Structure 1
Amino acid sequence: MNISALEPINIWKHFEAINAIPRASTKEEQIINYIISFGKSLNLETSVDSIGNVIIKKPGTSGKENGGAIVLQGHLDMVHQKTVTSNFNFETQGIAMYIDDDWVKAKETTLGADNGIGVAAIMAVLSSNDIEHPPIEALFTIDEEMGMTGAMALTKEQLKGKILLNLDSEEDDEITIGCAGGVDVEINGTYHLETLDSDFQFYDISVTGLAGGHSGVDIHLNHANAISVFSKYILEIKKDIDLKISTISAGTLTNVIPRDLTCTIAINKAEVTKFEIQSEAVLSSIKNKYQTTDKNLDITFKPIEGAFPVVENNFLSQLLKSIHTMPNGVFSMTAGMDDLVQTSNSIAKIKVQDGGFSIACHTRSSVDAERDVVVQKIRESFPIGETKEIGPYPGWEPNPNSNLLRMATKCYQDINGVAPAIKSIHAGLECGIISEIYPSMEMISFGPNILGAHSPEERLQISSTQKFWKFLTALLKAL
């Protein structure tokens, strides 16, 4: 069966169409133009602001023409991630989707259900002739995944609606009413290079097979982080072996737990056999630690010809110590809510090459003061570089007593026979930013079941998408 033949057809055909368009964060030109053309093809009022956010307005249906406008909101960009062996080109190729039982998946890449299915649902409402709804203001933002710059650029004049439905959540039995804020933290610096004599053998090291995932909603799962695994591996081997490092590279996005890493090292030839034996022993210990969360984790090495400049030894020792001591993973849990992370940090990217290094991580928290504590700990861990914060964004304060939430909860229960869970999440949603611009706007977030977001394991449940669509259309009718 083709993706576009799935029910409800109107959602899936739009999802298939936008997934044919490359739409990485900060590179959304093609999808912006597509959404503009889509709105104009329906003869609906369509506008785009200076940063690239698109707003499409649709009048209310018969009997609802004079109601207050409802803002339907989703983001156009997606996380571009692929397996280490994939030759997929995100710049030119559309996502290769396939059906596996009750799931839609992608071949060796992220699927783009985050937030493509939310965008597709909004498009389905806009193009429908048989769905009851008040006036609609469809807001398609850009660059949610990298910096939320689209939401940050909104002005209070652009939207008139007093209710916002964000369609960027990933569990169909929940209604989200709050989220964490966050900030990217970057460390940059320089180091001296050394040239080795012919007594050293060079190796390429690869860390592969990790599960990865979203650095917010998956952080409590304790998935292995390729950068952290690598530092443990090297530190253990360096205890007894004269090991040098030439280059390190891992990670592409700060909102993704890094799944793989490459490195070039050098070992004194007199210790090659010892290194190979010890490497296997250290790997066995690491595999054992992550056997339930990252069963495919592997560290491989192969000898290579040639000689390359290496990191000066004192700097290397401090770099490895800094990586090992900086916060990584869950920092604290929310008091009284055992299943909600309050504060975390994820080491996301590293580049060590040609006398310069950069490391980036993402710090999240629902408590600004504690977020600042973690950032300070990162600074203290890295005396060898300059640390700076980039693109801080606010959390979304929960409002458990809103009229919108009461109405949505009743609607969900009427359809499904059970009440939804009401939750805050440890991830960034644009609602936090939008609520600062429109403080009187009531908002909730919901969506279908999406697993493995921000990784090539991302998958979207078909039956859950049908459930999500039924709830969305019923809620629009009730509002």
Structure 2
Amino acid sequence: MAKEIKLLSPQAVWGYFYDLTQIPRPTGHTQQVTEYLKTFGKEQGLETLQDATGNVLIRKPATAGYEDRETVIMQSHVDMVPQKNASVVHDFLTDPIDAYVDGEWVTARETTLGADNGMGMALAMAVLSDKTLKHGPLEALFTIDEEVGMDGASGLKPGFLKGRILLNGDSEEEGRLYVGCAGGIDLNISFRYQDGAPPIEGDVAVKILLTGLKGGHSGVDIHLGRANANKLMFRLLKVAVCDYGARLATIDGGSLRNAIPREATAVITLPADNIEALWEFIADYQDLYRSEYKGIEESLCLTAEMTEAPSSLIPEEMQDDLINAVEGCQNGVISMLNDFPGTVESSSNLAVVKAENGAIDVKILVRSSSESRRESVCSSLESVFSMAGAKVEYDNVYGGWQPNIDSPILRTMETTYEKLFGQKPVVSVMHAGLECGIIQEAYPDMDMISFGPDIRFPHSPDEAVRIDSVEKVWKLLTVTLEDAPRASS
């Protein structure tokens, strides 16, 4: 499949993208890819730097005659979200991504592809290596560990960058120019207990599995009405406890804070006399969920099977508190923006629920373009879980990127897009965390914009990038660089 991908147009972009799929680079494990970038920069004969945080910066001089232009920064992040289907054996620390062409798209076999943000990296690398392009002074900034905490952008120091215009390549809808984004915050919620309750004599153990959901990015996909595996699992657990005498032993739902959970597994016990009724209940709930999510979650699968008896159960009072809190907490879209119709303002993603061996951990990611709304949502969630006896802590707080409709680079790119493609781009605010807001804290005068090719289902094993959109973004990028404004004195 390497040859097939590398023959796509523009070949330089796809060639670098394929190379990136062969380098394991999940968040927190980016040394291999940053070494690759440093080697690339030096082989191109370009100034190549790495800051104390681990970010890589490559500088390319201006084309002759373009020395008077503003320095433009092309920015992308090097890490990718490691998600796979439960049935697949794949080690994201050692295994390459098995990418292939699927009609109009490039995708991967049952894992995330890494087009988020490998495609932004590949576009920048293609510009850096192309000796025929016309442009002013360039910087390519490759930040680390964006997907969990935006650590790379947070570690940037004033003075590392020379440019005053930044083109962020981490957007996922061709034809849209993003001028703002939501901020976010993690809620880490924990219950602890010393001794689990012993299984009840005569009860049997059952494993309940919810699989086949689409999942996706908890920001850009949150408005699509997709099911949250944790919410669905706890909805049926409440009925199982109340109506069938079930007790909860373990729960494992979701894996990443910024991905809509696709799968959840629970182990329960219940009286043996109720087992036949439970099978019927599970079948009925599968039909119910499929009906409620018809046209959205066509592969939803809810099954149950006998399993080994657990060594202990979650204490009954804590079990009930957990179920009620998860059932009662806000999830999904909470409010919409008035100034940008159709754009989510605030949302909550019940990302992870895990319970075993005396520890229950819940992770929620709250996003909002409004700091006050974000605080309100967090307060509401904290109240729900505090009443349930949980400890609630906050982490990874990052601010949003406030829109600047008068941005000079926005005007340049709007004109360029219409000239190239005969129609105006859509100017939007993204309901997801982009590094622009954090970078602006260190560089408050930076003029920024974000754009990119069509990427569907990021943060999920269905992730794919549309082939023809990459060529359009390449044209937009290269012409924008050629048309960059002259530097002000």
Match of 1:131 among 111, 114, 133: 133
The equivalent residue for 1:465 is: 470
The equivalent residue for 1:65 is: 67
Listed one character per residue, the Cα deviations across residues 133-154 of structure 1 (whole Å, up to 9, x for unaligned) are 1111110001111110100110
1:220 aligns with 2:223: yes
1:394 aligns with 2:396: no
- Residue 279 of structure 1, CA deviation: 2.2
Say which SS state the counterpart of residue 2 (structure 1) adopts: helix
CA distance in 2, matches of 1:8, 1:285: 47
- Residue 213 of structure 1, CA deviation: 0.4
CA distance in 1, matches of 2:308, 2:416: 66
Match of 1:176 among 178, 189, 193: 178
Q: 2:27 is aligned with what amino acid?
A: S
CA contact (8 A) 1:81 1:456 kept: yes
CA contact (8 A) 1:237 1:279 kept: no
1:9 aligns with 2:5: no
CA distance in 1, matches of 2:222, 2:280: 33
CA distance in 1, matches of 2:213, 2:175: 28
Say which SS state the counterpart of residue 184 (structure 1) adopts: strand
1:346 aligns with 2:342: no
- Residue 291 of structure 1, CA deviation: 1.7
1:278 aligns with 2:281: yes
The equivalent residue for 2:481 is: 476
The within-5 A match list for 1:204-243 is: 204-243=207-246
The equivalent residue for 1:405 is: 410
The equivalent residue for 1:77 is: 79
CA distance in 2, matches of 1:163, 1:197: 65
The equivalent residue for 2:428 is: 423
Q: 1:68 is aligned with what amino acid?
A: E
The equivalent residue for 2:487 is: none
CA distance in 1, matches of 2:283, 2:53: 51
CA contact (8 A) 2:282 2:304 kept: no
Say which SS state the counterpart of residue 341 (structure 2) adopts: strand
- Residue 305 of structure 1, CA deviation: 3.2
CA distance in 1, matches of 2:16, 2:174: 20
The equivalent residue for 1:190 is: 192
Q: 2:353 is aligned with what amino acid?
A: I
1:368 aligns with 2:364: no
- Residue 79 of structure 1, CA deviation: 0.6
Match of 2:101 among 99, 102, 114: 99
1:380 aligns with 2:377: no
Q: 1:401 is aligned with what amino acid?
A: D
CA distance in 1, matches of 2:74, 2:342: 29
Say which SS state the counterpart of residue 293 (structure 1) adopts: coil
Listed one character per residue, the Cα deviations across residues 89-120 of structure 1 (whole Å, up to 9, x for unaligned) are 21111110111111101001111100001100
- Residue 243 of structure 1, CA deviation: 0.3
Listed one character per residue, the Cα deviations across residues 317-353 of structure 1 (whole Å, up to 9, x for unaligned) are 1100000111100111112433011000000011100
CA distance in 1, matches of 2:439, 2:145: 14
Say which SS state the counterpart of residue 72 (structure 1) adopts: strand
CA distance in 2, matches of 1:286, 1:301: 15
- Residue 172 of structure 1, CA deviation: 0.8
> Gaps (5+ residues) in structure 2?
485-489
CA distance in 2, matches of 1:336, 1:56: 37
The within-5 A match list for 1:446-465 is: 446-465=451-470
CA contact (8 A) 2:249 2:310 kept: no
Percent of aligned pairs sharing the same letter? 38
Say which SS state the counterpart of residue 167 (structure 2) adopts: strand
CA distance in 2, matches of 1:19, 1:220: 29
The equivalent residue for 1:141 is: 143
Q: 1:188 is aligned with what amino acid?
A: S
- Residue 307 of structure 1, CA deviation: 4.1
CA distance in 2, matches of 1:94, 1:196: 43
- Residue 35 of structure 1, CA deviation: 0.4
- Residue 198 of structure 1, CA deviation: 3.1
Aligned length: 479
CA distance in 1, matches of 2:308, 2:399: 50
CA contact (8 A) 2:192 2:358 kept: yes
- Residue 306 of structure 1, CA deviation: 3.4
CA contact (8 A) 2:249 2:356 kept: yes
Match of 1:43 among 45, 52, 59: 45
CA distance in 2, matches of 1:108, 1:28: 22
Q: 1:109 is aligned with what amino acid?
A: T
CA distance in 2, matches of 1:129, 1:272: 70
CA distance in 1, matches of 2:244, 2:191: 26
Q: 1:265 is aligned with what amino acid?
A: I
CA distance in 2, matches of 1:478, 1:164: 14
CA distance in 2, matches of 1:417, 1:437: 37
- Residue 376 of structure 1, CA deviation: 0.8
Say which SS state the counterpart of residue 244 (structure 2) adopts: coil
CA contact (8 A) 1:226 1:258 kept: yes
Q: 1:454 is aligned with what amino acid?
A: H
CA contact (8 A) 1:73 1:139 kept: yes
Say which SS state the counterpart of residue 125 (structure 1) adopts: helix
- Residue 68 of structure 1, CA deviation: 2.1
The equivalent residue for 1:159 is: 161
Match of 1:252 among 252, 255, 261: 255
- Residue 78 of structure 1, CA deviation: 0.6
Q: 2:437 is aligned with what amino acid?
A: G
CA distance in 2, matches of 1:341, 1:45: 41
Q: 1:171 is aligned with what amino acid?
A: E
Alpha-carbon RMSD across the aligned residues, in angstroms, is 1.1
Say which SS state the counterpart of residue 320 (structure 1) adopts: helix
CA distance in 2, matches of 1:227, 1:254: 12
Listed one character per residue, the Cα deviations across residues 269-310 of structure 1 (whole Å, up to 9, x for unaligned) are 121122222222223212211122111111111102334201
CA distance in 2, matches of 1:239, 1:356: 23
- Residue 232 of structure 1, CA deviation: 0.7
Say which SS state the counterpart of residue 84 (structure 1) adopts: coil
CA contact (8 A) 2:60 2:137 kept: yes
- Residue 445 of structure 1, CA deviation: 0.6
Q: 1:96 is aligned with what amino acid?
A: D
- Residue 66 of structure 1, CA deviation: 3.3
CA distance in 2, matches of 1:120, 1:282: 45
Say which SS state the counterpart of residue 306 (structure 2) adopts: strand
Q: 1:168 is aligned with what amino acid?
A: D
CA distance in 1, matches of 2:26, 2:246: 38
